[in-house]
Structure 1
C-alpha cells in the first residue's frame, strides 16, 4: 500500500503497511481521517490482493456491517469522545472465533460443514474488543479445523482456499492462523487475533515477520472458539508490533465464568506499561540449547538476537537445559491428548450452536459431510486427507488419555519450564520460534 493512500482528495493516511494502532488513533482523534475512511482503505487493499492480484487468500469473509459500524463509531466519537485506544480501529479475527451471527459473518473453522451455523453469540474475546469500540472487518482464512483434519498443506481450507506466503511465490504461510499472519504482513487491517494449540500463532507470526503472542492457558477465554484441545488451546494477538500485541492482550485477557481455566487467574495487568526499553537490564534469560534442532536454519540469526538482548542489559544463561529434554523429544503424549480432546471439544461446540447445519451434530457427521462433498472439502491432489478426523472419532477418554495428560504436565511444566526457571534462577526462557512450541506444550498456568 502506498505510504499516503488517498481515499478522497482530502484524506491522507499514514503507511498502512506499518501504521500502529496508536498512530491510527491519533489520526482519528485529530480528524485527519475517519473510521469509515479506514474501513474503505483496508477493504480496498483486501480487494487488491486477496482473491485478485497475488491471490493470497488471507481473508475468508468480509463483514457486511463493517462500514455501518464505522459510521456509528465516528458519530459516537464526535458526540461523546473516544472509548479508548481501540475505538473505530478495524481488526480481523480468525475464522474459528465466534462473532454475532446477526452481523452476517460466519464462524466455520474454514469448513463448509459449519457454513450457515448460528453461534450463541460473540466469543468473550470478541465481545471485549467490540465493547472497546473495535470494528470487525472480517474473518481470516486458516488451516481448516486448525490443522487437525489430516495431512493437508498449511493454510488450506475448503471455504477459503489456499493461503499463500506474501514473501515468496506459492510459499508456505504456515498455520493454522495463516490468514491472520499474512493479513498483518501486508496491511489488511490494523491488528488481528489468531489461536494456538501447538505453534498456530507463533509459527505463522514467525513466517510472516510479525509479532504473535500465545498467552498462558487460562489468561484468555476460549469460550465459543472452535477447539482442538481444552488443555492447550488459547487465543492471542497477531500484530505488526509488540506495542499493538500488548494492547490487544490487555483487552482480551480476563476471567470467563464459562471457561473454568480462567477463573483462578490474578488481576490482569496493563501489558502496555511493560513496554520499557530498559526492562531487560539485569534479567536472566536461559537458552535450552538441546531443544534447538540440529541444522536449524535460523540458528545464526538467533545467536545474533541473543547478542542484541545482551546489549540491552540481559544476562544470557547459555545453556540452561530442561531436565526433561530427552524425554520431551520422543514423547507422544501430546498427540494422544489432542486426538481425544478434539472429538470431545468439537462435539461440544456443535451442541452449543443456536442453529446447526442440516444433519451436522458431531464429528462423525463432519466426516460424512466431507465424503459427500469431496469437490469442496477433499479436492485432488493435495487436500484429500482426513485421517486425523478418523483417529479422533475412534478415540476415548480412557486411562491412557488421563495418564498422557498427567505425563504432559510433568514433562512440560514440572520437569520442564518450571524446573528450568528455578534451577537457573531465570526470568524467562528464549528459543527460536520454530523450536519453541512442540516440546513444552503443557505450561497450563
Structure 2
C-alpha cells in the first residue's frame, strides 16, 4: 500500500533534513577570508569600550561621555552603512578591489590614529578613515560568503563560524590595548594592532588569487523593490532597534561597572569586554547550529527576546560576581545577533543577483542604530554625574531590543507561509 506524503517546500526540506555536502577548498578559503575580515572589522568595533575608557581618562579628559562616544559610533556606522555602496559594487564584480582597498585603508587609518592627540584627529582617523576602510571590505566579504554557500543549513553553520572571528578579535584587541599601553604607550600600541591587522589581511588575500566573478549589469545603489517588500523592511527596522541597544553595553560596561561597584579593579572592569566577546564566540557557534536546525530568522527572534530580558536584568546587577555572570550570558546572546544576518538575508532576496545591494541596505540600518544608540544613552545618563539613574540607560536598551523582537514576528510568519 502506497502512502502519499504531503508536499514540502525546499526551504522546509533544507531546515528539517539538510543534505550532507562537503565544502570545497574554495569555499573553505572564503570562510577563512570572511572570518579574518570579521576579526579585523567587528573585532575592532567590539573593542570600543577600552577606547572610550582611555579617551575619557587620558587623551580627552573633560569631554562629555556622549561626545567621546561619537568616535566609536560613527566608526561603526560607516563600517556597516558602507555596504550601501560596496554591495552593488560587489554585484558588479569588484570584490577583489574592494577587499584590497578597504583593508589597506583601515590599516592606514590605524597608523594615523597612533599619531593623534586631539579630538578632531581621533575622529578623522578612527571614525572616518578606519570606519571607511572596514566598511569597504566588510559587506562584500559577507555577500561573497553567502553566495558561495547556497545550501541554507551549510550557510547558517558557516556564518556562525565566520562570525566567531569578531568575538576572537574582540578578545585579543582589548587585551593587547590593555596590557601594551602601560608598557609601550598609546601610539605604539595602536601601531602594533595595525601590524597584526595587516598580517591577517595578507592571509585573507588567498581567496582573491584567481577569484573570478563575472561582472553583471550595472545596478542601482538601492534595490527599489525592497521598499515594497514588507517582511524585508520590517527586518531592517528591527535591526535598527536592536543595534541601538546592542552597542550600549559594549561602550559603557567598563565605566558603568566602575561607578556602580567601586571595589572592582580597573583591570577587571576593562577585561569584562574580553569576557563578553569570549562568551560571544560560543554564542555564535551555537547560533550557526540552531539556525541550521530551527531556521535563522526564528533563532534571531528568540535571541532578541532573551537579549531584552538580560538588558532589563542588568539593572539589578551590583556585585562583581553578578557582573561577570551577566557578561557571560550577554556575550552568548549578543553573539546570535551578529552571526545570523548573513544566513537569513538571502531568504528575503528575490534572487542572489541582488544579495549585495540588499545586504548593504540592511547593514545601513544596523549602522544607523549603532550610530545613535550610545550617544542617546550618554545623554540619558551622564557617567560623570555620579547619580544613581543608570537604570534609565538600561531600560532604554531593553525596550528597544524588545521592540526589535516584536517586529521579527511577521517576517517569520511570511517565511512559513511561503514554505
TM-score range relative to shorter protein: under 0.3
TM-score when normalising by structure 1: 0.26
| Bigger proportion of residues as strand | 1
| Bigger proportion of residues as helix | 2
TM-score when normalising by structure 2: 0.27
Which structure has more relative contact order (CA 8 Å, sep 6+)? It is 2
